């Protein structure tokens, strides 16, 4: 059997490389592998194109960082202009009014429960808690109104408490009017 001959290559022939060219080619390949892996490469070993790429990337990173810091600064300025309920403390009298309103609701709930259990024929012992509920609701309303006189406070609890105590007083007025 005759020995097979190698087919001639199609395309341009490479010229033989000198030792210096071979070293540069190997160094370039190692540098590209390191860059692909994200390793650091000495600056002297970078080509002019690679230096330009790195300079461009560094410039983009600086621009992104500057935009991010500018956005953070704008958000802080916008947040300072917004009304914050956390910064202002609650009006002290509104907390007392809320406690009185809670007591009024408990007394009123007891009275309604007793009336429900006895099918509308509540005993006379329910009159005391009913009167306490009315007085607590009225005093809670007064405390909430007094809370509005305090300066630089958060009035949210005072507003809610004033409305609820007025609703409770209106409910008691309606029950008393219907029972006559």
Convert the pLDDT of each residue in 38-61 to its tens digit.
666 565 566 778 778 888 888 999
Specify the higher pLDDT residue, 173 or 90: 173
**What burial letters (b/e) apply to 40-73, b meaning 16+ CB within 10 Å?**
eeeeeeeeeebeeeeeeeeeeeeeeeeeeeeeee
Identify the weakest region by mean pLDDT among 6-20, 72-86, 140-154, 163-177. Answer: 6-20
- DSSP-derived 3-state class of residue 9: coil
Convert the pLDDT of each residue in 91-150 to its tens digit.
888 999 999 999 999 999 999 999 899 998 888 889 999 999 999 999 999 999 999 998
Residue 123's beta-bridge partner residues?
none
Which residues, in sequence order, are CB contacts of 95 under 8 Å at separation 6+? 157
Instruction: Find out whether 156 and 97 touch, Cβ atoms under 8 Å.
Output: no
pLDDT at 8: 59
pLDDT range class, residue 19, cuts 50, 70, 90 = confident
Give me the chain's average pLDDT, please: 83
């Amino acid at each position: 059997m005759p020995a097979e001959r190698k087919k001639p290559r199609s395309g341009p022939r490479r010229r033989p490389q000198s030792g210096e060219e071979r070293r540069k080619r190997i160094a370039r390949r190692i540098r590209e592998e390191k860059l692909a892996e994200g390793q650091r490469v000495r600056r002297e070993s970078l080509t002019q194109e690679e230096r330009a790429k790195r300079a461009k990337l560094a410039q983009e990173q600086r621009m992104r960082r500057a935009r991010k810091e500018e956005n953070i600064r704008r958000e802080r300025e916008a947040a300072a202009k917004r009304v914050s309920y956390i910064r202002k403390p609650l009006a002290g009298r509104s907390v007392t009014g809320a406690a009185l309103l809670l007591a009024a609701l408990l007394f009123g709930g007891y009275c309604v429960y007793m009336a429900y259990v006895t099918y509308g024929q509540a005993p006379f012992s329910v009159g005391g808690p009913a009167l306490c509920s009315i007085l607590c609701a009225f005093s809670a309303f007064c405390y909430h109104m007094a809370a509005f006189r305090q300066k630089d406070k958060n009035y949210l609890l005072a507003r809610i408490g004033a409305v609820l105590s007025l609703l409770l007083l209106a409910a008691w007025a309606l029950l008393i009017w219907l029972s006559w």
